Structure formats: structure tokens, C-alpha cells
Structure 1
């Protein structure tokens, strides 16, 4: 039920419609096996709303992409959901217009015109446009979609982190979030290295251990960057201030403003003290060069994305070929571009599987009969066999919010 309500509320904020009503229903079977799933509850609502947008565009005779552009939320506008305005949710950076322009440019490059985003037509033996070969008699169609999601889960999500100087002049991060292939280890090292003017190879990280740092509410919902990452940033910034203050005191500099951090030392008015020496001096003075950071997950921002597919269908057999796809994600300041691209393309493969192959089947008693992978059909075609999958990130000015995972 939480997923249903959250998905309905978030998705309803996209169209600029003064009157909104959402009817959402939940069905209880008590027999669906539990398991993790990316974007749970959101994909279904996005598909329903986007289908309605396409249908309204057809009925009004407006290009589906133009119809979306006329109704999208703009920068600085209030986001009103069926439950009212969410006080901690804002647009910190805005790139939805750029995302839609990427889709429009792809359509134009592919030879499309007005009405093309949801149009279709016959193929040719040699194919048409950059999408690849289309057999004679096949139908070619293309479609667009867009969505918006909050960059963090609502309410009660928090993280703590500690960053400290070690005896050998390197740094240690302790953070409560978990690394499970989502890239937060890299991101947290990047954040700390930037704050302390050092390199990532001089930073060690410890995670998910409440003996060294307080409890973290979880890495779901990209919170490893937007929540735990903010805690790490606060701790690293605070430690940088400590290091400069102590170095100025130790070297007799007039003010910490005369000092600056380097990869393995502090320079103050022409004098240099290594971080190793600074650690020993702090220990002799009975001080620990360590700082804590906390982030409560609020305020939150939103991220936007737009998608475009061009495909061909054999009307005789129903076989489908993906000819080209373009995906634009406005993720704010991207901390780990490779990881972000992997998430976008992984989402594309997941969407293809859910749309074309996957099907949870129930028997007459409501029990799931496809509970094992040997009975559940998944997409196994490698990503490289889907022609021309292009992911793109817009340039947005705000660096306040970032995503990796």
C-alpha cells in the first residue's frame, strides 16, 4: 500500500493540471513471494499515466511529445500531489526540458516528424533511418515516455559518518550504509578526497558496522549517495576545518586561512607539515583529528528522465526487434558517471524483460506458479544485441543533489 500511495503521489506531480484525482486500489493475495525489485510500485503507475497521455494526445490531435511539453512542471514551480504539497520536496536542479529535447533530436535524426513519437508505418527490406534493417512487411513504430522520482525516500531516512586522520597520514571513513555493487564505496571516497584535497588511494572505508558508526536506515532509494553521501561530506568538511586549525596552531601561522591541504600535508605560509607529523602532534596534545557528519534525508529533490524507443514488429508472427533506443536522465551532479550509465542501461534491460517476457502466473488458488527461475522467463539477450542504446545526461547547474546509487 505504501508503494501504491507513493507512486501515485509522485507521478501525479508531473502534468500541470490544476485538478487531480487519483483512485488507487490494492489487492491482497497473501501468496506473492517476497523479493527486492528496483523502483517497486513506480513502473506500473508511470506506464498507466504515460498511456493516458498518449491517448489524450491522439484524441486531441496533438503530437504526443508536444502534448507532454505543454503539461510538464517547470523549474521553481510547486509540486502538488493528490495529498497536497510535500514541504521537503523541491526542484534543486532542472533538466527535464533538456531530456525531452534529446528525445526530439533523436526522432529528427531518425527521420521522424510531427506525430512520429507514437506513430507507425511499414518497414522496408533495407531498413529506414539509423535504426537498422527492417524486413519487408514489418511494421515500424516509436514511442516516448517521461517520469519523475524523488531523489530519496520520504520521511525518517538518516545516515551518520565519521572521517578521521590515521597514523600513517591517510584517512578512514566509517559509514553505516551498505555496499552491494551500487558504487557508494567509490562515491564516498570521491566526496572525501574532494573535501580533503587528497586522492582516493589514500582513503580507507568501513561500512555497515554499528561498532564504529551509528545506525543507517538503508541503501535503498539511492540513499547511499543522497543521504549517506551527504553525511560523509559533512564529516569530511568538518575534518578539513580541524586539520587547518590545528596545523595553523602547530606551525604558528597567523590564521587557518593561510593554510591549505594537499594530498599528504598541510601548507601554511610557505611552511609544510606532513599529515603523519600532524597526527603525532595531535596525539601528543591529547587530541584526535576526527569529525562526524549526520544527514536526516531532508529536504529532498527530484530527478527526471525521458525515454524513446523505435522498434519493428512482424505482423505475422509477433516478433519484435528493438531498432534504437535513447534515454536521457537528469540526475543532478553525477558522482560516478560509469555507475550512473550502468544504472540507466540496466533499467532499460529490466524494462524490456518486464514488458516483453516476464509474467507472474497464479493458479486457481492464487498461488504463484512461477516462483523459481527455471519456470520464470527472463530476458537473457545481452545488452550489446539491442542496437544503439544511448544514454545521455543533461547539464544542470545545481550541484546540491547527486545520484549514483
Structure 2
């Protein structure tokens, strides 16, 4: 079962109160249209009787129905229901007797406890009892729906934390490789790089536990990571920001795997002059991350790498955080021949459906030995 939001269950108590008020007014309103338009006093008598009987039906709905009918104790339930209806008739007989003793002739005529009156009141009692049962099960359905939504949110929160936990050791492993490479060179830059690693780990351990983080911090995190990678590689590495990132909140660690992936493709290739260009473009409509690097690796190898831990985890996070499908395109062009593999992902998870109603797009393109990743997140 899938729900878009929890708005229909926010006012369950108000709905229940409305149902009980409607129950109290039902008999008076129907009788007003049929019997005593000319006598307001009788209307108030009937309304008063219904108000007096309302606690009994609330008791029936809140105690008898859940403890016996809902628990499938049918013998006890039907026995108690018969006793309940009999008790209602006895109470009505007492009320009618009082009205008969002190009321006018018109009121006595209406409240005479004759056989037809007994049939009428029995029918009303049965109708009220059925409505009380319906109110219980409607309320129960709302409660179960509310619980289901809460459980779904907890499940999505757990999944998101699990995915982030997967990213942390993967990222740490890659970063430690950078520091190891630096230490092997006995570089004087090692202490400064260790401090940058400490900043990265502080962000991973403490700040990434938040549901959202400022985009400025995510950018700073990427910058620190790039500084670490620059130590390992003497290459053309650029990171450009276009637009204003202030005041924008985003889920943590959405971008880093694609940046890591770009470094891996660029520097595992056979090119001496490797490059990687990273651009983060921010507009009022969307946020676009583009990672471009050169590579000599063929399509099949690239496809396998795209399914690696970091990219796969980021894809799963995107599925969880964004409600609609996205397309992954892998394209390689060689000698005027091309082939394309499209992997479509459906059934996006619910964690932040209300926060992110629009789609996101992830394009991965390998063309003329240039590898491009473009991730577009539409802003709400």
C-alpha cells in the first residue's frame, strides 16, 4: 500500500467528533422533516434524548466493539450487543415515562411507549449501533494508516542512514589511498592533508547525520576532497561554481560519488594529460552537477564501474530522495558507430516524496574517449 502524504490522517479526532455529532442529530433531523415541523419542543426533547444516549453508543464503540467484535469473540459480542440494546430500550422507557407524566398531550402522543414506538426505537437503536461499529472501524483504519505512514518514514530514514553509512567507508578508503601515496613521497604537505582529512571525517561523522545540510558545506566538502586528489595527480583539475549557493539545503553526500568516479576514470586511463572538469551550476529552477574527464576505458568496463559501490549507492539514495524515475544513459561513439544502453529505474521510494515532487535526471555519456556525468536536481 502506498500513500502520497499523511494529510488525510492529521484530523482523525475531528472526524470522529463530527461523526458522533451527526449521530446525535440524525434522529431529530429526520423526525423534524416528517413528524413535528410544527412543534419545536418535541424536537428539543428528541435531541436531548439522543444526547443522553450518546455516551452509551460511544462506550459501545470504544469498549465492546474492539474487545469482542474486533477480537472475533462473536458469541460474547452478540450476547453483549443484545444486552446493550435491551438496556437502551429500558432507559428509553424510563425517559418516555417521565415525559408522559409531565408533558403536554402532543408530547404524550409522540412519546407513548406503544408497540409501534418500541419497533421505531429498536430500529433507531440498531441503526445507531451499526453507525457506532462503522465509526470504530473507520477510526481504526485511520489509525492503521497513520501507523503505516510512520513506519514507512522510519523505514526510509533507516534506508537513507544505511546508504550514507555505505558511502562513508568507501569514501574513506579512497581518501586514505591519497594520504598513503603522499606519505610514500615523504612530502611536507602530509600534515596539512591529514588536517583536511580530519575536516572531511568530521563532516561525514557529525554533519551528515542531519536530514539536510547547507549546499555551501557540501561544496566545501567536495573542495577538500579535490585538494586531497590533487596531491596524488598532476593533472588539469577544475571545480567551478556557477550561481548562488547560499541558503540552499540539500541531502548530504549526493555529489561526492560522481566526483570520485570522475577521478577514477580519468587517472586509471592511459592518457598522460588527464583532466577532470567539475561544474556545479545553480539556478532558481535546478541544481546541475557535471563531471567531465578523459578516459581510454571501453564501454563494458565503464558500465561495470558505474555499478560500483559508490555510484550504485548514490543511485539508491537518489531513488529514495526523489519520487519519480530517472534515466541512466551510457553512450560510446567510435568510428561513426554508436550504441546506447538505457537503464530505467521506477518505483521511487517515499522518504522525501513531499519535499521533492519533481524528477531528477542522471546522464552518463562516454563519447570520443570523454566521459561525462550530468546530474540534474530540480528545485521545489
TM over 0.5: no
- Kindly indicate which of the two structures has a greater share of residues assigned to strand: 1
Q: Which has the higher contact order (CA 8 A, sep 6+)?
A: 1
Greater C-alpha radius of gyration:
2
Structure number having the greater helix percentage: 2
